[in-house]
Structure 1
Amino acid sequence: MVAEHHALPDGIGFRDVQVLGPFAKWNHSHRMTPADSSKSESWLEDRIHYDAPFGTIGRALLARSIQRSIERTFAYRHRITAADLAAHQTAKEKQGTRSMNILVTGSTGLVGSAVVPFLTTGGHRVVRLVRGTACGPDEVEWNPQAGTIDAAKLEGLDAVVHLAGENIATGRWSAAKKARIRDSRVNGTRVLSEALAKLSRKPRVLVGASAIGFYGERGDDVMTESSNTGTSFLCNVCRDWEAATEAARSAGIRVVNLRIGVVLTPRGGALEKMLLPFKFCAGGVVGTGRQFWSWIALDDVVGVIHHAITHEELSGPVNAVSPEPATNRDFTKTLGRVLGRPTIAPLPAFVVKLLMGEMGEELLLASTRVVPNRLQATGYQFRCPTLDGALRHLLGR
């Protein structure tokens, strides 16, 4: 949809009017008004006036589904907005958090595209580290392959959130793909860490992405932050990825290595890929179904990053996973129940290996049962602690 943006006359909102899109008419007003005389709370109100496409036929056939979709979408948006504002208020009251200058790498990725608006909503200035030409004062150039970065523009940052890295879940892992996966993480992190270490005014904290791939295949064993790494390709990548932050750590910067689990969001990643077959009743258990998938809702990945920035007692490895890891069988049955679909189309292990090779073995068939000990010990409150609740929240069910 292409829409024109108009300010409302009273100055407490704005209106989006469709110029090009699927609706015959779309007029969406956003209003923010004080909830009481003290102005300590506000109402967020969305009013939508629309007309379905195709006239009378469209209204007859599509009105109910459009209404349901709109209600789900805006209920989700309002939950997110309320939770985000509450998180920022809590950080301000308990940690004394002030407005910060925060550098973010990987800002257009699955996690980064959620982190940036969360931080700006809290009044923080976000500077993006970008490849190619920087466009404006809120972008800084770097080329991790060439080992170059415009370090002078990094002076005076309060925090750095490092999320950049090659997508591991697209295509088979050829030798070239594996090299890109490793180099984009290890070399990029080393370039950034060394640049931060040389600054006159260093950031207080570097929050760097890692992954639960650090642990590898472990069956039913429970992995905590003190557990040893495995020996697979991803284990080696994650070990070297975390080690690449050493320059920053040695320079006195607090470094947090987030070992992120399977990120759940319908906008990308594993859940997005599963939705279509499940909706067409073609979903089912992968392999034996006994392997553990340690998952985390995207909302909580964002929350954990904020928690890591604002809690000075956190450093080193931190497991960014929900408190309830699920077997693949439990995950499959829960997703089927939430969608109201049967789960009768299993995907045997040999098919996974045939179609996906090493990638399928490490991402779908490996069992990694991880718990978030350090997050819980430092008081992090999960927005989506249970799988059923997370899926219903994310999918609007």
Structure 2
Amino acid sequence: MNILITGASGFIGTQLVKRLSHHQLTLLTRHPEHTAERLGEHHHYLSSLDGLTNLDSFDAVINLAGEPIAGKRWSDAQKKNICHSRWSITAKLAQLSSASDNPPSVFISASAVGYYGSQGSQHIDEASQLSPESKAEFTHQVCQKWEQEAQNAASETTRVCIIRIGLVLGAQGGALAKMLPAFKLGLGGPIASGQQGMSWVHLDDLIALIEFLLINPHTSGVYNGCTPTPVSNKEFTKALASALNRPACIPAPAFGLKLALGEMSTLLIDGQYVVPKRTLQEGFTFKYSTIDSALNALFK
């Protein structure tokens, strides 16, 4: 297959490129030369979509591009960057697909479990109804329009698959890499109440899910990209400390996080217990279905 991948140089994209290296890949990245050094000179690279008038030459699109949502404090300017980096490229890809005489057969686009907003202890799936309060949250608003732009690529010849991705666990990047220094020093601990939900997925399972949607023509619509076993922050903290053979008894109080991070602290203090009901119904199987098995695979 000839596949266009955006966000190819990111944490998820880098591993996806390795997994799909037997296909013909075109990678969209802001720094083609640097990315080629990391991912290989044999791929085709684009620095922007400006030179494309359609997507006729591609069999599939995998859209992972987006400013890290937890990369910086949520100033008004940063919120605009978070939104623009997702919405504009997704809208452009959908426009190019619509302008194609022979559009891609599948358009896979990332989203996030932040779509659901804060949900307390309730377990939710792809069909769950959201409250007005959840819909008012920034993370929902980001994901809702992101998904809407992706759905605009749908047609009789193009199926759209959207993956609402949870906390991705990998040793070489993502949120886990930011947690590791403190935990390795024995300075980790639960955040706020520790009861907030953490919906997670091992990086290998997420890559396998993307490939599953890529090659199975019956799939379309929204899929939760997280395991069937979400855990509380307290349970996650205990499992991570155990995998690293370190204690984890230094809590991070909510007021301190709010003071340090502002509105972005909601990513840590609030949460949701998301289950992949539709993902499982379609026949996908998670290799790492418990938090202990996932973390032990990464660190032992």
8 Å Cα contact 1:132-1:142 kept in structure 2: no
Question: Quick one: distance in 1 between partners of 2:147 and 2:251?
Answer: 36
The amino acid that maps onto 2:261 is M
Question: Structure 1 residue 228: deviation in Å?
Answer: 3.1
C-alpha distance in 2, partners of 1:261/1:228? Answer: 18
Deviation by residue 1:284-334 (Cα, 9 ceiling, x = unmatched): 000000000000011111011001111222211100001110000000011
Aligned equivalent of 1:176: 77
1:10-159 matched pairs, under 5 angstroms: 100-120=1-21, 123-131=22-30, 138-142=44-48, 148-152=50-54, 154-159=55-60
Q: CA RMSD in A?
A: 1.7
Aligned to 1:357, the other structure's residue is in SS state: helix
1:375 equivalenced with 2:276 (yes/no): no
Q: Is there any run of 5+ residues in structure 2 with no aligned partner, and where?
A: none
| Paired AA for residue 193 in structure 1 | A
Cα distance change, pair 141–282 in 1 and its aligned pair in 2 (3 A): closer
| Residue equivalent to 1:255 | 160
Q: Who is 2:255 aligned against?
A: 350
* Structure 2 Cα separation of the partners of residues 251 and 382 of structure 1: 30
Tell me, which stretches of 5 or more residues in structure 1 are unaligned? 1-99
In 1: Cα distance, 2:241 partner to 2:63 partner: 34
CA distances 1:142-193 after superposition (whole Å, capped 9, x unpaired) = 25xxxx35235x3231111000001111121000000000011111100111
Q: Give the match for residue 211 of structure 1.
A: 112
Q: Which residue of 2 aligns with 1:320?
A: 225
Between the aligned partners of 2:248 and 2:28, the Cα distance in structure 1 is 43
Which secondary structure does the structure 2 equivalent of 1:301 belong to? helix
Does residue 391 in structure 1 map to residue 295 in structure 2?
A: yes
Q: CA deviation at 1:247?
A: 2.6
Partner of 2:129: 228
Deviation at 1:250? 4.0
From 235, 239, 242, the counterpart of 1:334: 239
SS at match of 2:152: helix
Match of 2:269 among 365, 369, 372: 365
Distance 1:365 1:354 in 2: 12
1:139 to partner: Cα distance: 2.1
Instruction: Indicate the larger mover: 368-377 or 205-214.
Output: 368-377
- Secondary structure class of the residue paired with 2:27: strand
Read off the aligned partner of 2:102 and give its amino acid letter.
R
Check whether the contact 2:104–2:157 (CA below 8 A) recurs between aligned residues.
no
User: Partner of 1:20 in structure 2?
Assistant: none
* Whole-angstrom CA distance in 2 between matches of 1:162 and 1:199: 17
Distance of aligned partners of 1:141 and 1:340 in 2 relative to their CA distance in 1, 3 Å threshold: closer
Q: Could you say which residue in structure 2 is the equivalent of 1:188?
A: 89
Aligned pair in 2 of structure 1 residues 232, 149: CA closer, same or farther (>3 Å)? farther
In structure 2, what is the equivalent of residue 38 of structure 1?
none
State percent identity of aligned pairs: 39
TM-score with structure 2 length normalisation? 0.92
**Structure number with larger C-alpha Rg:** 1
2:153 alignment partner, SS class: helix
How far apart, CA to CA, are the structure 1 residues paired with 2:221 and 2:182? 39
Over 3 Å counting, the alpha-carbon distance change for 1:295 and 1:149 in structure 2 is farther
Supply the distance in 2 between the matched residues of 1:321 and 1:290 (Cα, whole angstroms): 18
SS of corresponding position for 1:206: strand
Letter in 2 for 1:119: L
Measure, in 2, the Cα distance between the counterparts of 1:316 and 1:208. 10
Q: CA deviation at 1:133?
A: 7.0
Give the number of the structure whose residues are more often strand, by fraction: 1
How far apart are residue 252 of structure 1 and its match?
A: 3.8
CA contact (8 A) 1:218 1:368 kept: yes
- Match of residue 310 from structure 1: 215
Provide the C-alpha distance between the structure 2 equivalents of 1:340 and 1:205, rounded to a whole number of angstroms: 43
How far apart are the structure 2 equivalents of 1:267 and 1:169? Answer: 17
Number of equivalences: 289
Aligned residue for 2:120, secondary structure, equals: coil
2:149 to 226, 240, 244: 244
Higher-RCO chain (CA-CA 8 Å, sequence separation at least 6): 2
Structure 2: distance between partners of 1:251 and 1:365: 42
Secondary structure of the 1:142 match is coil
